[in-house]
Amino acid sequence: MDLQDGAFDPAAAGNSLEEHWMPFSANRAFKANPRLVVRSEGVYLWDHHGGRVLDGSSSLFNVPLGHGRPEIIDAITQQLRTNDYAAPFQTSHPGAFTLARKLAALLPEPLNHTFFSASGSEAIDTALKIVMAYHRARGESQRLRFVSRERAYHGVNMGGVSLSGMVRNRESFPSVLPNIVHMRHTWSADQRFTRGQPATGAEMAEDLERACQTYGGGTIAACFVEPVAGSTGTLVPPVGYLERLREICDQHGILLVFDEVICGFGRMGTAFGAQAFGVTPDIITMAKALTNGIIPMGATAVRDEIYETVVGAAPEGAIEFFHGYTYSGHPVACAAALATLAIYERDGIFDRAAAMSDYFLDAVWSLKDHPLVYDLRGYGMMAGVELHPDGAPGRRGNAMQEALFWGGLHVKFTGDVGILAPPLVAEKSHIDEMIDSLRRVLDAQAGG
């Protein structure tokens, strides 16, 4: 193994790569032709042959500040030296309280209480349990039904998989939660190449009203949506859609949950998608950019009244909410998050993202006439580039992802949609480089 020049040869290192069962990966194809990242710095990664690769999706929407930020590394190192771990049940540590307070300042009012976990999936399952505990505390235990949406991604724990509207993620797991109702997604072909919020599609919110009519609004506990559905290729909410969901939830006493695991922390040009779209949910889930992706962390923020209701329903001195993780509010994750939030604030990262959005979307839209491009969608610093399929769905996406990687650009693909979400510190030159690489590989794929 030789990291000196960024190269690493698995065979020479005596590793067949067989033992590691990779997540969400075509293990056999990968192991025949591995793509290993051996170094990362700023907006770049280096592969195991020493090639430089631009991080076009912020490594799964994780690193808005780029890789290797010394401020975050220092904060983590300092934390490890002073207090590497503190048990979170019936004891805690100062960082968790400081972080929850900082988040309250970023979150829309009145979401001022935050429950920590270690991933987006855990943040979602925590939200499900908070919703159940809240309705129970209010004497509304009959609210057992959850509404989510087709093409939603809410992580991989059993609660999140149940909510998920991505069929492949559910089909191997028949024992998901019962009582989940899926609304239709909001995308339709007439919206193709819409930049920002589509003018059509708000009527899809009426699926929630229909669920209320079908099952009784009083049986529905919560409605979960991503403000912009990220993992299925950037589905931007139509004008008026989120507002209408809010209205229907209010009419029927349903909690509205925004899954902001991707949208949170500047991706939409504001702290949260809730502020970008001017709709305040009752609960917000977050993860990823909370720590700049450096240490795993998830969080679930709730309205004051939700916290007060659940906590107030229990006898004085009793544990109010029977839920928590060994790594809830891990001191090192809190240190990473505090350092990350400090940079967001000091460097005005959310405003920077808002200011860069036009340049980014202009660059993406320059691909509009490419023969392989079927649709473009985008908002803030995230865009979906949907390609015409090549036979089986996803075949073109897989081929593109691999060709792009070796061509110097890492992009997350879901099926045939590439999701562009560069680090929020990317310069215009990085955006140009990203689109040039994309065009070059698209041309090659098109046989041009």
User: Which stretches of the chain bind ligand PLP, using CB under 6 A?
Assistant: 119-121, 124, 153-155, 226, 230-231, 259, 261-262, 287
Name the minimum Å distance from CB 379 to ligand PLP.
Answer: 14
Could you give phi then psi for residue 88, rounded to 5 degrees? -90, -5
Cβ distance to ligand PLP smaller for residue 60 or 356:
60
Name the minimum Å distance from CB 78 to ligand PLP.
Answer: 25
- Of 74, 39, 116, give the one whose Cα is nearest residue 342: 74
Q: For residues 304 and 315, is the Cβ–Cβ distance under 8 A? A: no
Q: In what order do the strands lie in the sheet with 220-225?
A: 111-117, 298-303, 283-286, 255-259, 220-225, 145-149, 180-183
Name the minimum Å distance from CB 129 to ligand PLP.
Answer: 15
Cα 179-180-185 angle, rounded to 5 deg: 160
Cβ distance to ligand PLP smaller for residue 58 or 194:
58
Name the minimum Å distance from CB 12 to ligand PLP.
Answer: 32
Cβ distance to ligand PLP smaller for residue 267 or 352:
267
Give the rounded distance of the alpha carbon of 70 from its chain centre.
Answer: 24
Q: Please list, in sequence order, all residues whose beta carbon lies within 8 angstroms of the beta carbon of residue 43, skipping any fewer than 6 positions away.
A: 54, 55, 66, 67, 422, 423, 425, 426, 430
Cβ distance to ligand PLP smaller for residue 107 or 373:
107
3-state DSSP assignment of residue 38: strand
Q: For residues 197 and 278, is the Cβ–Cβ distance under 8 A? A: no
Name the minimum Å distance from CB 204 to ligand PLP.
Answer: 18
Residue 206 is encoded by which pair of tokens? 């009426």
Name the minimum Å distance from CB 292 to ligand PLP.
Answer: 14
Q: Please list, in sequence order, all residues whose beta carbon lies within 8 angstroms of the beta carbon of residue 168, skipping any fewer than 6 positions away.
A: none
**Cα–Cα distance between 33 and 247 in angstroms, integer?**
51
Cβ distance to ligand PLP smaller for residue 46 or 61:
61
Residue 51 is encoded by which pair of tokens? 């090639």
Closest-by-Cβ residue to ligand PLP is 120
Name the minimum Å distance from CB 137 to ligand PLP.
Answer: 26
Residue 92 is encoded by which pair of tokens? 């805690």
What type of residue sits at position 414?
T
Cβ distance to ligand PLP smaller for residue 160 or 269:
160
Cβ distance to ligand PLP smaller for residue 267 or 370:
267
